[in-house]
Structure 1
């Protein structure tokens, strides 16, 4: 059986975690076990709790400041050789420990930071399949590109962006943003507006990543 890990980030209930939960439920429905790991909590449990509280307060009370800093650090034109040394210093060795302990066959990233780390570490683990599952309708600079095996994108615009950055279109799957399989849609909502992996394409998508 495949050993599967799913990497969101932080313990707060964000879209990254909701998508991770949706993936986990979908995999389990197919008889596959997947473990969800937040590398921050795994490495620095107490600091993560404090950071999560501070993060939410920052957004609540200083949204413009948060938006400005986010745009400065994460947005803009993608640079292939850009490094984030602070993230590497804090988390690279911790990610190595997780990979060595868990020995995953497949890693899904629903947040940019684990994707960045695994993109850097992938040459050390050539048998590991890494999948980016984008949870926003844009792709910030932190997401790994070069060594990521597959990309689950929410829109044709994101697909075009990745292709323009040199990603092979055969490794990009237009899935929408995955939602939990237990969420029941109103029948009046057109199918084209839903943001889950269509059942007709699930076999092709999962098959491509080795299921």
Structure 2
């Protein structure tokens, strides 16, 4: 294999996590001098209408569609069989074939579980080294297939789940989930406190309220905690302009203790100065929190990977899971009134972090791909294409 192989990264826009990991792997390739890299949202390119509808249903699962998503996530897991694989294989197969013919990739990386990719090898005999980069702290069977050459996972817990499905341990590497490099860099907290107009002497509650509008009554929550003089609040509203407009008068009334922000590009800066965060349990957000040792209060996880992520973090003692809005108040107070508990959560979540995941993954899969190609050459095999 050349020192500059052609890499095709396949992903899907069901939440931001899969695409974010794809982008992180893309940037790591560039950093290591690999410039023949293409990211493809396979489902959007092959079935745009189907993809748009299913992405809409996915977003609705955070509010009115929880039962639908529960049925999909756990139902597919239970019904996972040859018939199901054939159905998934048909979704995107034609487009995948076109892309492979056009791009002639040396390596395939999946950041979304698409059975069509490993099934393509089984159906066509076209052997391209194929690697799955899992994006959650739990496992869905749809990630696992006999024609995946190696799995890169967040924890030993996920590795054990894959082994139970019959995959050899040598084909699974615990690397953590790739995150943006700024979450693993040092920062001067004093400068960041000044930048955002906050005090270093007060505890800071970060509320990630923008994602899908799932956190209700944010204004009332802020009003309640602003009554506590030793606490300051940052609310990230994302693209939810209505929420930002609602909170702006309150932030103006407490300019030294509350910040209402829209979309924040350098959200890592906020993580650096945060004592505890209220958020949804997405795999990437949790990985970023672990990197900087930010304890989390996980609000109302959706059935599926979010709920499984939440359970894992709660079991490790690094998170508190809240299922009812009225319980958020007690959960926050419980965490902030007990410094020993807060520090324990901080320590436990940071222990879940594995450094330089994207670099470790890329180095390893390049070696694996080279070994596969060398083996083929020794056996006198024809080229991949």
TM-score normalised by length of structure 1: 0.82
**Structure 2: how far apart are the matches of 1:19 and 1:62?**
26
Structure 1 residue 139 displacement after superposition: 1.9
Q: 1:198 to 1:57 in 2, by over 3 A?
A: closer
Alignment of 1:58-69 (within 5 A): 58-69=61-72
Alignment of 1:25-174 (within 5 A): 25-33=27-35, 34-74=37-77, 76=78, 81=82, 83-113=84-114, 116-123=115-122, 124-174=124-174
* Post-superposition CA distance 1:124-181 (Å, at most 9, x none): 3544110011111222122242011111011101111222222121221101111122
Runs of 4+ off more than 6 Å: none
Query: What is the root-mean-square deviation in Å for CA atoms of aligned residues?
Result: 2.8
Structure 1 residue 57 displacement after superposition: 2.5
**Structure 1: how far apart are the matches of 2:90 and 2:362?**
38
**Structure 1 segments unaligned to the other structure (5+ residues):** none
Q: Which of structures 1 and 2 has the bigger CA Rg?
A: 2
Aligned to 2:145, the other structure's residue is in SS state coil
> Contact conserved, 2:90 with 2:116, CA < 8 A, in 1?
no
**Structure 2: how far apart are the matches of 1:100 and 1:31?**
24
Alignment of 1:9-28 (within 5 A): 9-10=12-13, 13-28=15-30
**Structure 2 segments unaligned to the other structure (5+ residues):** 186-271, 273-290, 294-346, 371-385
Aligned to 1:209: 368
Structure 1 residue 207 displacement after superposition: 4.3
**Structure 2: how far apart are the matches of 1:43 and 1:95?**
8
Aligned to 2:220: none
**Structure 1: how far apart are the matches of 2:70 and 2:166?**
28
**Structure 1: how far apart are the matches of 2:105 and 2:125?**
10
Q: Which moved more, 1:199-208 or 1:124-133?
A: 199-208
Q: 2:10 aligns with which of 7, 20, 25?
A: 7
How many residue pairs get aligned? The number is 206
**Structure 2: how far apart are the matches of 1:16 and 1:188?**
21
Q: 1:176 to 1:82 in 2, by over 3 A?
A: farther
Q: 1:144 to 1:98 in 2, by over 3 A?
A: farther
**Structure 2: how far apart are the matches of 1:55 and 1:77?**
20
Q: 1:171 to 1:126 in 2, by over 3 A?
A: farther
Aligned to 2:173, the other structure's residue is in SS state strand
Structure 1 residue 50 displacement after superposition: 4.2
Aligned to 2:91, the other structure's residue is in SS state helix
**Structure 2: how far apart are the matches of 1:163 and 1:77?**
19
Q: Which moved more, 1:62-71 or 1:132-141?
A: 62-71
